[in-house]
């Protein structure tokens, strides 16, 4: 009898431990599951070409194909919002929410354009679409970075 109770007790402990480990694993996995993007989804900077020369304050327009723009926090299939990366050389980890900074701008209200003011010189611009949690989709939907040159208006040089 004593042995049997002991075995049952040990089995219960084992079950409890397995259950706890299972839950932890499930939570970790859930946090890492990225929203899928449909085939052919893409984002582009609509109004600027690679090599464009722009004044210090200029407009950047975003376009998306194959996905819907919704505000951050709204979970809907094939949707998300734009992020503009300025002079970002190394992409942030796509398995985590994109950080918010001066160089990683979130357009969580669903904006499709912004006015930028940048110092003179060359800069890179890149769009990354991300889901309601600011986590990029899988596969990631982002534009090829373009390099632009910010130049003072001609009138300033005269």
Least distance to Cu ion, CB of residue 87, Å: 18
Residues interacting with Cu ion, by CB under 5 A? 106, 134
- Asked whether the CA dihedral 95, 97, 100, 103 is positive or negative, the reply is positive
Nearer to Cu ion, 134 or 137 (CB): 134
State whether residue 114 is helix, strand or coil: strand
Q: How far apart are CA 111 and CA 85, in angstroms?
A: 15
In the complex, the smallest distance separating the C-beta of residue 80 from Cu ion, rounded to whole angstroms, is 8
User: How many CA within 13 A on the CB side of residue 62?
Assistant: 31
Q: Which is closer to Cu ion, CB of 55 or CB of 92? A: 92
Residue placing its CB nearer to Cu ion in the complex, 107 or 150: 107
Q: Minimal distance in Å, beta carbon 36 to Cu ion?
A: 18
Answer whether 84's CB lies under 8 Å from 107's CB: yes
């Amino acid at each position: 009898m004593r042995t049997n109770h002991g075995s049952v007790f040990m089995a219960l402990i084992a079950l409890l431990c397995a259950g706890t480990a299972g839950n932890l694993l499930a939570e970790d996995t859930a946090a890492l599951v990225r929203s899928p993007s449909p085939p052919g989804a893409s984002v582009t900077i609509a109004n600027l070409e690679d090599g464009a020369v722009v004044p210090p304050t200029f407009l950047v327009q975003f376009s998306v194909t194959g996905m819907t723009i919704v505000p951050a926090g709204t979970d809907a299939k094939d949707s998300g919002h734009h992020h503009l990366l300025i002079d970002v050389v190394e992409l942030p980890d796509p398995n985590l929410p994109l950080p918010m900074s001066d160089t990683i701008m979130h357009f969580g209200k669903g904006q499709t354009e912004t006015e930028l003011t940048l110092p003179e010189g060359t800069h890179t611009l890149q769009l990354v679409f991300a889901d309601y949690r600011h986590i990029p989709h899988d596969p990631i939907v982002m534009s090829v970075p373009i390099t632009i040159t910010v130049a003072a208006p001609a009138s300033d040089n005269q």
